[in-house]
Chains A and B, each alone.
Chain A
Amino acid sequence: MAADLPAEFDVVILGTGLPESIVAAACSRIGQRVLHLDSRNYYGGNWASFTFSGLQSWIDEYKQREATTDEPVTNKEQILENEGIIPLNQRDRTIRNIETFSFSKSEDSNIVEEIGALSIKPELLNTNPTDGDQPLQESPAPEQPELQEPQSESVEHQETTSESDQIPGANIAPNSEGGSTTDAEPNAAKVCQTESRKSITYSDIVREGRRFNIDLVSKFLYSRGLLIDLLIKSNVSRYTEFKNVTRILTYHNGRIEQVPCSRADVFSSKQLSMIEKRTLMKFLTFCADYEQHPEEYQDYKDSAFLDFLQSKRLTPSLQHFVLCSIAMVSKNTNTVDGLKATQHFLRCLGRYGNTPFLFHMYGLGEIPQCFCRMSAVFGGIYCLHHSLQCLVIDEDSKQCKAVIDSSGKRISCNYVLVEDSYLSEVTCAQVQYRQISRAILITDCSVLKSESDQEISVLTVPSEDGRQNAVYMTELCSSTNTCMKNTYLVHLSCPSVKATAREDLEPVIQKLFTLDADGGE
């Protein structure tokens, strides 16, 4: 089929993550002939979202890949004398140390952990209805990996912990310092509550697996910012549907509390005293246009935001709310940056709802696809499960003038954009990577109960000793179309410090969630 690909494009783009997809849409929009490829058979690369069984196939595939080595394929026939090549990776090493757990009442729950041994059938990622009629035997049938976890009831939760290299090339990587854009908050969450109410069993989850849209990377958007502006300006927003995050939570004094952030919240808050309300109102009103009142913070310009908060007589609770949950900065952040962050938060309030954040329905993984759709509508040609062997470089000009695709076909082009997990370690030797630890949990009750069971919550858990970074958690309810009824999908993340994501996140998970006793911990 790839034989029908034209032999010439203006722009060839490899990787269908968010940055690449935005560029693809932009190039098509201005009339460039775009070829957009991904080595996977799904959109989004490491920005993808999966159904429950899709995620399991993905995990299996990753485990398998970790075990194999990369053999560079290069087709020298197509290369002329004055040309050199840059070979590309045929597999992605971005994500590491994936582990899955389940917490179950029944003894056979550890079978679930064994699924990693099975082979993958990539088609399953897209489609497969996870039907409930799986055979109740244990012998893993390699042809049907997703029928394999046979135990019937019991497993309450499934957690995937993964660790990923963040890619600086894709500069929208969660890096909140950048301010502006995607300022998605890397979020995180995990849950394990079991009070044996209408308990959700593992097989329920398998049966309803299609209701899940589990993001590999979970972020949400500020309701004002470059990404939301871009969605609107480019008209890509016609494909998007968001929900406003409904609650901002924080972990304070050993428990989870809701952070009052709008005027109305502050007034109606039960946890704040009258004096605190007044102090907070006054402070936030000042932050909304702090530049107008330089005298207020002049003396603290070079000190920490926290010192400034103290100078404004904010009580310890208020300091915590502002620092951790409104500005979402660390104790060492300086005053001006803290003020900027607070102001941005306040400016985003009320645009679409009573928190500043938007979460995309069906998961973040939809957003790259929305840009791909836009590119396709303007003529972009899409080919998944199709990669490049190498880039062809003209020795004289040092420019890339063609690529060789995975079928060995030479395609000439003026520009190439490659997501950097496709580049070899040699090529990226100069690049500094940051790692993020993530956990994903499926839970059966919210970390903080409220009247509604359809809250979308964001929670910051500051590190206890203040030396590590905070852990961010997002808890999604079923109306976001990311999980089945009566469950929550929780994403947790923090910059990696320890050797594995599990070590980084397990302490927080144990603080926030009740793991079912018989399941293990």
Chain B
Amino acid sequence: MLLAFTQLGFSSILALVILGIILGMVAYSIYFERKIAGWVQDRYGPNRVGLPTLVGDLLPEKYGKFHFWGLGQPIADGLKFFLKEDIIPSHVDKPLFLIAPCVSLIVALIGFVVIPWGGQVAIFGQVFNVQVANPDIGLLYILGVGSMGVYGVVLGGWASNNKYSVYGAVRATAQMLSYEIPMGVAIMCVVLTCGQVRLEEIMASQVAGWNVWNLFYHPVAFIILWITMFAETNRTPFDLAECEQELVGGFHTEYSAMKFAMFFLAEYAHMITGCAFLAVLFCGGWDPIPFVRIPLFRPEDTGIIAMLAKMAVLFGKVAFFMFMYMWVRWTVPRFRFDQLMRVAWKGLIPASLGVLAVAIAGLYLGLHRTLWFTLPGNVAVVLVSLWVMSRAKDPVSGREANLPPLTRSPELGVQA
């Protein structure tokens, strides 16, 4: 009883609750992923497995069979994964093969602990942080843990002893290395703007004063971070590690049943943590509307209801970003590998360095928290990159460079 009244006790309870929420969200993200895939392609998506199937069947005949929009699908999927035969091929490196999915899942599931889910809460006069852990280096922790995600992929690909899997793993590594750089630089802009690496302090600085979210100081940095999030989580258009057309299944080719499901869950858990991270860094975390103070959502509101409302807002933002993940996935085709590298090294890294320069200049001049300095700075970065783009040669790819020069045939009226 006493234990529950320390921050440790509160954190433990919160960890369990949030873990439950995240696992539930993972299950239903998979459901919505399939739904959205269906809708984009003018289909219905899964709509057969009714949640309490019995209720659907007990309804009077005249209503027809009601399937509850297929909401039972995640349960059926989970059951399927548990009941399938779990094959360990004879040619794999067994210990690593078994460790890889665990590493993936564990790493994806410990990321959320430093996210400030709902400011502070006072229970019987005791004030707690609504945050499982509160290290000084919250931001670095989440960066480090996020990057560890690639270990599962690499281990799995290597242990599978299969060329395609190794290709997938190697691609994932190269991609991760390239996209960590613009990601880190974009985050640096936030750190410079807020002068903090503790996530809850970054949050606090966004809800102080005029409630200006970091998004408005550095929109370009926000977009860059968002793009690199797609790459970090191996999502389309950057899912080269598992692209089916070239690599069968990439790093998880040899995995089946629950071990495959663990990779799958890890991907979605990673996405959810990433979305929460993005929301906290740039979009004001649990603050519903920028530039306005709403009762219930001030830092000094520490009631339980305020905490729940704040958590709801943050999870709403997470849901929005998850939807964006899926929407993009079913819109944008996958990049080719050289395009992927070009986007990172010739696009995102210079642009992010530009934004960083703006942020540093702002800090030097003491204008790092003034919109009229940082916003034009960001616009200038965009304009400069447009100017460079318009002067750049068309990217040459594949055999184009080796073609002979164009022959001109005036008699055919061909303008070569």
Whether chain B is bound by chain A comes out as: no
